[in-house]
Chain A
Amino acid sequence: DSGVTQTPKHLITATGQRVTLRCSPRSGDLSVYWYQQSLDQGLQFLIQYYNGEERAKGNILERFSAQQFPDLHSELNLSSLELGDSALYFCASSAGTSDGTDTQYFGPGTRLTVL
């Protein structure tokens, strides 16, 4: 158990809908990262937050957004869902060094299925 929690574990929804994925980092970690794992794209970095502020952005669609709250938990919002958004979404957390080089520990993931 990495100490990172993600809810829900599974999510099934329809095209055009909006969902929210939730992540709680390990105790004491300030950085939260979101990754998407799909069969065709593999593991892709989406976005990173550090102590409530956005720090780095990857291949995140405009339909997706995220935030990190004062209690350091994070939410990833996916809207106008398409079939291609079906994937396993991981949250990871790390202590949060000044240069972003600390080890990331991953949660169990949320499997999103868009029908």
Chain B
Amino acid sequence: AQKVTQAQTEISVVEKEDVTLDCVYETRDTTYYLFWYKQPPSGELVFLIRRNSFDEQNEISGRYSWNFQKSTSSFNFTITASQVVDSAVYFCALGMTTDSWGKLQFGAGTQVVVTP
């Protein structure tokens, strides 16, 4: 079964602290795609990053970085030096290529609260 688990329901930090969001996925596909989306209080879903299963290189993009570990089926996301504008719900999503062409399987989301 395809499944995405975000065990952290809510994380509260003070501005400038780092925040790491956990994501664990399950899939039978050998090729798949992982995404992080952000949903600020205004409600829209904003695409942040994408990772392909065949590329385990971890990267940094500005204050965002991610750690993809295929061996543990984890795709963790870190916000460095958090800011109040980072307060949002963050969703991890799994994109599959077999049986569910184009469908994204979302996790339950992690609420991040950044206080000044």
> A residues near B, CB below 8 A?
2, 31, 33, 35, 42-45, 48, 50, 55-56, 58, 88, 90, 92, 94, 99-101, 103-109, 111
* Known interface pairs A43-B91, A45-B105; A103-B97 also in contact (CB < 8 Å): no
Does B62 make an interface contact (CB < 8 A)?
no
- Flag if A88 contacts B37 (CB, 8 Å): no
CB contacts (< 8 Å) of B109 on chain A: these are 42-43
* Known interface pairs A56-B102, A56-B103; A99-B45 also in contact (CB < 8 Å): no
CB contacts (< 8 Å) of A92 on chain B: these are 45
B44-101 at interface with A (beta carbon < 8 Å):
44-47, 50, 91, 95, 97, 100-101
A48 to B101, CA, bound (A): 9
**What are 18 residue pairs bridging A and B, where the CB atoms are less than 8 Å apart in the complex?**
A2-B44, A2-B46, A33-B104, A42-B109, A43-B106, A43-B109, A45-B103, A58-B100, A90-B45, A92-B45, A94-B102, A100-B101, A104-B104, A105-B47, A106-B45, A108-B42, A108-B43, A111-B43
Closest to A103 in B: B50
Other than A42-B106, A45-B105, A48-B102, give 15 A-B pairs with Cβ distance below 8 A: A42-B109, A43-B106, A48-B101, A55-B102, A56-B100, A56-B103, A94-B102, A99-B97, A100-B97, A103-B50, A104-B47, A104-B102, A106-B45, A107-B44, A109-B44
CB contacts (< 8 Å) of B108 on chain A: these are 42
How large, as a class, is the contact surface on chain B?
A: 20 to 34
- Flag if B47 contacts A58 (CB, 8 Å): no
- Flag if B44 contacts A101 (CB, 8 Å): no
Contact partner of B102 (CB less than 8 A), chosen from A31, A43, A107, A111, is A31
Top 3 A-B pairs, shortest CB-CB distance: A100-B102, A106-B45, A43-B106
* Known interface pairs A2-B46, A104-B47, A109-B43; A55-B101 also in contact (CB < 8 Å): yes
CB contacts (< 8 Å) of A108 on chain B: these are 42-44
Contact partner of A106 (CB less than 8 A), chosen from B31, B42, B44, is B44
Closest to A100 in B: B102
CB contacts (< 8 Å) of A88 on chain B: these are 43
CB contacts (< 8 Å) of B45 on chain A: these are 90, 92, 106, 109
